[in-house]
Amino acid sequence: MERLALRTRLRPGCEETYDREHAEIPAALESAMRANGVISWRIFRDGLDLFHFVEVEDYAALQAALKDDPADQAWQRQMNRLLDGDFDKSAGGLRQVWELT
């Protein structure tokens, strides 16, 4: 199992929209994530910074499995409107900030 910390950042002025739209993820996306090894994925917001704490069987395998998943693609399009710089999954997964022991 991998325990990772990842980071993204919101575009200034998008905090309220993010909080409202991210209050619940779509069931199809949660199902796809769980089916591909996600044990837990929590996101905490501090101002514009989003800190992702992830427990997953294999992060690289998860990213590969979700790359073409329609639920994940729709979610990424929705969230990319709010991020400071689009997150292009074709370039790979979120950059790992650190691995937790």
Q: What is the 3-state secondary structure (H, E, C) of 2-56?
A: EEEEEEEEECCCCHHHHHHHCCCCCHHHHHHHHHCCEEEEEEEEECCEEEEEEEE
Distance CA 41, CA 79 (A): 16
Helix (H) or strand (E) holding 24: none
90 pLDDT tier (thresholds 50, 70, 90): very low
Report pLDDT for 92. 46
Whether the full predicted model's pTM is greater than 0.85, yes or no, is no
Maximum Cα interatomic distance, the chain, rounded to a whole number of Å: 36
Report pLDDT for 95. 54
pLDDT in tens, 17-55: 999 999 888 999 999 999 999 999 999 999 998 888 889
Average pLDDT over the chain, rounded to whole? Answer: 85
